[in-house]
A and B are shown apart, each in its own frame.
Chain A
Amino acid sequence: MLEILQYSFMQRAFVGGILIAILCSAIGVFLVLRRMALLGDGLAHISFGGIAAGMFFKVYPIVSALVFSVLAAIGIQKLKQMKIYSDSAIAIFFSFGLALGVVLVSLSHGFNADLMSYLFGSILSVSEADILLILAVGLATLAMLVLFYKELFYITFDEESARAAGVPVERLNTVLLVLTSVAVVLSMQVVGILLVSSFIVIPASIALPLCRSFRQAVLMSVLFAVASVVAGLLLAYYFDLAAGGAIVMVLVAAFAAMLVYKKIAAK
């Protein structure tokens, strides 16, 4: 067995990283196809406000970030129903979260170092409690996604027909946003706020051009994400790199390889 797995911090990193990779990359397929690729990024910045608020008011930051992110997700959906364009709705909440975070940071002096770990991720310092939370919430979120899979697929492909077939489109759109916000908050510790959207956008973008069916696209997206976590963590361990950054670099390399493959296959 690899010596790397002897360390409990590495075990936690693998377990947490892989679960988050599965969750984000599966959700990512729905979001990318609905032209909502940047939602993850927006929600991550909103969570920044939540993290800062948690630190400021001495609440477990992941919990306050979850609350912020879920409320913002519902808020974005409400603004959309009030005929505000969805990218504008995301930008409004995005700015608010970031602004709130900055204001709270300026009010207190001392948690900047901790905040940095959320900005850039610190998967190698994930605690036992964190990993239990990630596992519990992550598995519940994954179960919801499986439960609503075929309805979300229908809405993603053809919203109007789904509505005509009696699928509760508005409610399920909110469910997808809430699931995304939970996934985003859980991934913050792994890749950090600044890189969260990579897990959502890149695996799906690699898989979509290669697949003939939706199911295949979801599975391939998950496969690429998990492989990148494993490869990224190994690279980080052996070459002493920032784990979050290493994982994203692997993902980007895989995306570039896919482009080259498509180019060659087209000839």
Chain B
Amino acid sequence: MAEKILEFRNVSFSYGKQLAVEKASFSIEKGDFVGMIGPNGAGKTTLVKLALGLLKPDKGKIRLFGKDIADFHEWHKVGYVPQKATGFDQNFPASVFEVASMGRIPKAGLMKQFSENDRKAVERALEVSGISGLRGKRIGDLSGGQQQRVFIARALAAEPELLILDEPTVGVDQKAQHEFYLLLGRLNREMGMTLVLISHDVGVVAKNAGKIACVNVGVTMHDASKGIDAALLCAYGNDMGRVPHHHD
């Protein structure tokens, strides 16, 4: 049996009285490409924040790389591309290389200067993300699709084993989205990286991910090869068609 990278056991979480996640139990194994789908407010982002230790569960256990999350400190193993990553201050003076370098901090260590090795890892992350040529550009001067790749590079700079992406293609044009999913496919198949992709777009998830996690306060896992109808049904109910969902 493959190594369990992320495991939720009966996890519940509420914002005040508003229940966001109830008794979620699932596990993600090494090399998985899991697409997380579910309607707005279903708790997808909450699940990610729980997995990243940004929120603490009210009940239940979360394990990362076999360790209880309270005892887990190897955050360089987990890469994260946040929702609306591109919603930052577009006038912020930061070069592409500088933004990608931030991702190296958990690996390099706090309060330590970057070594030659760290700089090489950042260069590699830029290369894999296909943006080496933009390294000196100010991030606000790039297109939405290019900015998205910078945030992927930032997540890759620490050479993570698990990469979590929360609605990464919001505001990115169709062509850039297509290239973006090709990149994710390469990371998963060629580099063996475990991926968790949150998306509204059921079609894209079904096409690219190996497993589908349906989130609607609880979580149920489905094999993507068995068709997406069951997954759709669990997440959206009977009245939803297979219509890709885009944000403006």
Contacts and interface: CB of A to CB of B under 8 A. Distances in A.
A160 B102 CA distance: 13
Contact of B93 (A150, A160, A211): A211
Contacts of A147: 111
Contact of B105 (A154, A160, A213): A154
Interface residues of B, number: 34
A216 B92 CA distance: 12
B89 interface: yes
B75 A165 contact: yes
Contact of B91 (A158, A163, A209): A209
Contacts of A167: 105-106, 110
Contacts of B103: 165
Interface in A16-57: 33
A217 B106 contact: no
Interface residues of A, number: 28
Given A150-B114, A161-B80, A166-B73, A216 B101 contact: no
A164 B106 CA distance: 10
Contacts of B95: 212-215
A215 B73 CA distance: 29
Contact of B102 (A33, A150, A166, A208): A150
Interface of A: 33, 147-148, 150-151, 153-154, 157-158, 160-168, 207-209, 211-217
Given A167-B106, A214-B92, 18 more contacts: A33-B92, A151-B111, A157-B88, A157-B92, A157-B94, A157-B99, A160-B54, A164-B52, A165-B76, A166-B110, A167-B105, A168-B110, A207-B93, A212-B95, A213-B93, A213-B138, A214-B94, A215-B98
